[in-house]
């Protein structure tokens, strides 16, 4: 594959996290296509890190179901898998409901404003069919409760399932038929303001379950063709993370 035009301008403290984040985002966005082969020398040049953090990042991505190791130790981007994505959706729904239930007693005025602002950004992005902005705003909306819950395990657990879900979401629906989620979000905010933790959690679970029903609609879609070994140009490693 052609080498990237530029190397990352900034480095996080962990080179492993740097490699993981950029590879994850490129796979979720579709810049790295299903079946595309991942070669260490090209990844080293693209990401500007050594083989060790790349191998560590790939091991995490394999556990997350985003890459596979095939014969002769070839590492490739995993194919899209509806069944796995639906399993991820069910787990995400339960985890986000838990986050809201634990967060409601702790939410501040600033938290509620952040949720409202994120939902407004979500609505604007849907209006102009900006998929990246819509997903980022949706993540920002739900991320408020995850942070406010102060549950130290939730972020890591969600990181295991959200990329699988977002990947199929992007591939199947683009901007989605998700405009009903704006009203869902408004309802969640109302329940949070009222201090109704159980009701807000149930509304959050329903919101994520709607995404599961949308994913089911594409079960008969033709799967995208695997990438050839020639591949496509590497995406820019400076692209923002999706979560």
Separation of alpha carbons 138 and 156, rounded Å? 18
Mark whether 197 and 211 lie in a shared domain.
yes
- Does 225 map to a domain? no
Q: Which helix (H) or strand (E) holds 32?
A: none
CATH of the domain at 61: 1.10.10.10
Mark whether 63 and 98 lie in a shared domain.
no
> 94 lies in which domain range?
82-217
Q: Say if pTM beats, i.e. exceeds, 0.85.
A: no
Calculate helix-pair angle for 197-217, 82-103, nearest 10 degrees. Answer: 170
Q: Tens digits of per-residue pLDDT, 137-181?
A: 999 999 999 999 999 999 999 999 999 989 988 877 654 556 678
DSSP state of 37: B
On whether the CB atoms of residues 80 and 223 are closer than 8 A, the answer is: yes
Residue 6's pLDDT band, with cuts at 50, 70 and 90, is: very low
Q: Tens digits of per-residue pLDDT, 173-198?
A: 654 556 678 999 999 999 999 999 99
- Does 21 map to a domain? yes
Separation of alpha carbons 55 and 217, rounded Å? 36
Separation of alpha carbons 43 and 220, rounded Å? 34
DSSP assignments along 86-106, one per residue = HHHHHHHHHHHHHHHHHHGGG
On whether the CB atoms of residues 201 and 97 are closer than 8 A, the answer is: yes
Mark whether 30 and 55 lie in a shared domain.
yes
Separation of alpha carbons 185 and 207, rounded Å? 8
């Amino acid at each position: 594959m052609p080498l990237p035009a530029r190397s990352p301008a900034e480095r996080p403290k962990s080179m492993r996290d740097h490699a993981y984040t950029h590879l994850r985002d490129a796979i979720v966005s579709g810049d790295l296509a299903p079946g595309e082969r991942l070669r260490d020398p090209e990844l080293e040049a693209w990401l500007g890190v050594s083989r060790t953090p790349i191998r560590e990042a790939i091991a995490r991505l394999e556990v997350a179901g985003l890459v596979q190791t095939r014969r002769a130790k070839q590492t490739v981007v995993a194919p899209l898998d509806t069944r796995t994505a639906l399993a991820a959706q069910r787990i995400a729904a339960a985890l986000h409901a838990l986050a809201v239930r634990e967060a409601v007693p702790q939410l501040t005025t600033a938290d509620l404003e952040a949720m409202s602002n994120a939902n407004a950004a979500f609505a604007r992005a849907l209006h102009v069919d900006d998929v990246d902005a819509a997903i980022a705003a949706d993540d920002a909306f739900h991320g408020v409760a995850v942070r406010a819950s102060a549950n130290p395990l939730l972020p890591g657990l969600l990181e295991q399932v959200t990329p699988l879900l977002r990947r199929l979401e992007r591939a199947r629906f683009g901007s989605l038929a998700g405009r009903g989620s704006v009203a869902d979000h408004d309802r969640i905010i109302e329940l949070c303001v009222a201090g109704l933790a159980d009701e807000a959690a149930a509304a959050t679970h329903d919101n994520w379950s709607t995404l599961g029903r949308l994913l089911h609609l594409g079960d008969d879609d033709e799967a995208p063709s695997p990438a050839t070994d020639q591949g496509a140009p590497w995406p820019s490693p400076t692209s923002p993370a999706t979560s």
